[in-house]
Amino acid sequence: MQEMYVGFDDTDSTRGMCTTFLAYIITENLLKRGVRFLEYPRLVRLNPNVPWKTRGNGAVALHFAADNADRVQQQITDMIGVYSDLQNGANPGAVFLRGNSITPRMKRLSRDALHKVVEISDAWDIIRDGGGDAFSLGTGRGVIGALAAIAYDFRDSTAEIITYRSDANLGVPRQIKPDSVRIMQKTFPDTFNSYDDGSGQVLIAPRGPDPVFYGIRGEKPDILYRASSMIMHTERLRGHMMFCTNQGTGDHLQHTIKARMMEPYSSGVVDGVISIEPQIMPGGHMCFSIKSEGHSIPCWAYRPTRLPQKLSGLMRGDHVIVSGGVRGESEDYSRAINIEKVHVQRLAPHITYKNPHCSRCNKSMKSKGRGQHFWCVRCGSTAEHRQQICMPRTISEGIYNAAVTAHRHLTR
């Protein structure tokens, strides 16, 4: 048997299909042919800020040993061509590697694909240089994610069990009992992002026409099998599959965004000091600016994240680390950071001034005019300066995350 990696991406569209479901179909087919899997299927979420992603910007890779590797490769290529949602804009790509042939260049591309825009031509060069094969349709953008999923170095990992619907139920509203999800949520932190207590919203099920019924995320597969058994529903499912993922790791925010460059659609963190105080804008969104490396960077927190309420106590001079993605320029807006998380490192003192008190009369003194001293109208006592007061802050140092309903797949 020969060791093989296959990665694929961009097989879905906003109207249907799901790359993980294609992984399920391929895996089902390969198991019937005696293929031996060497690890869990990989579900790797890539840069969430690229504008051409479908839903979760997730790529999949399979690692297995097979007889007649050429035939297996052709079968997988055929299935990708058949099942990809080409009529609705999918641009699938697949990458095949034989043996343990992941190169350092492949690993670098995989890390880059987490936080920046990667060119298709670069992916092809790296594939050819590493002795791999690739297949693509449409623009072929899927080869980027396909290679990234194969070469991804799981410094941290989580798992997800995904259940799939039968063809007869596609497009039919999902019937999941919310109370069962609320009870299952008590397995937190072993599972995460399943249910929002504040809104009562079930977070494990998508709303669209894709074949996913629900997906539960957590730390280990055995916990997820138990959690899945707690979900009550009335639908007869096609099956399920367990994935090793980078979801919930925050890996896309390990990159430092250079203030002087601010590459559009990049993800990462910016360290700076608030230079323009937060303002609530129409629609309930918040905007403020930070000074970093001598550059002023606008930062936006959007109402659905609930960050505007959490960050309303920030003021000029506060030291913060802002995590998020760089929004591209438009006719109406400049380049800016769309905020996912803020770490308040140090709060500036909130100093106010008031007229001094007379120590004899315990009354507020009056000013004699601009540039003159203060005096007590009752006893005539004087004072030179206004009294400085350090006011309490309404926000504390610490980390402020977006609401769970607004979490990205990678959000930690």
Span 69-99, pLDDT tens digits = 999 999 999 999 999 988 888 899 999 999 9
Strand partners, 390: 351
SS (H, E, C) 72-90: HHHHHHHHHHHHCCHHHCC
The burial of 351, by beta-carbon neighbours within 10 Å (0-12 exposed, 13-18 middle, 19 or more buried), is given as: exposed
Residue 353 has pLDDT above 80, yes or no: yes
Strand partners, 270: 322
Span 258-294, pLDDT tens digits = 999 899 999 999 999 999 999 999 899 999 999 999 9
Which spans in 39-119 are helix H?
A: 69-83, 104-115
Span 158-167, pLDDT tens digits = 999 999 999 9
Spell out the residues 6+ positions from residue 133 whose beta carbon is closer than 8 angstroms to its own: 73, 95, 96, 97, 127
**Whole-model pTM?**
0.90
The burial of 121, by beta-carbon neighbours within 10 Å (0-12 exposed, 13-18 middle, 19 or more buried), is given as: exposed
Contact between 242 and 163 under an 8 Å Cβ cutoff? The reply is no
Nearest by Cα to 305 from 334, 335, 337, 274: 337
Please tell me the distance from the alpha carbon of residue 175 to that of residue 185, in angstroms, as a whole number: 18
Please tell me the distance from the alpha carbon of residue 6 to that of residue 96, in angstroms, as a whole number: 5
Whether the ω angle into residue 189 lies within 30 degrees of 0, i.e. cis, is: yes
Contact between 285 and 251 under an 8 Å Cβ cutoff? The reply is no
What confidence score (pLDDT) does residue 55 get? Answer: 64
Contact between 312 and 318 under an 8 Å Cβ cutoff? The reply is no
Q: Is 385 left (phi over 0), alpha (psi -120 to 50) or beta?
A: beta
Domains of the chain listed by start with CATH number: 2-151 (3.30.70.2200), 158-245 (3.90.600.20), 255-347+394-406 (2.40.50.1010), 352-391 (no CATH)
What confidence score (pLDDT) does residue 165 get? Answer: 95
At 336, is the secondary structure helix, strand, or coil? strand
What confidence score (pLDDT) does residue 53 get? Answer: 67
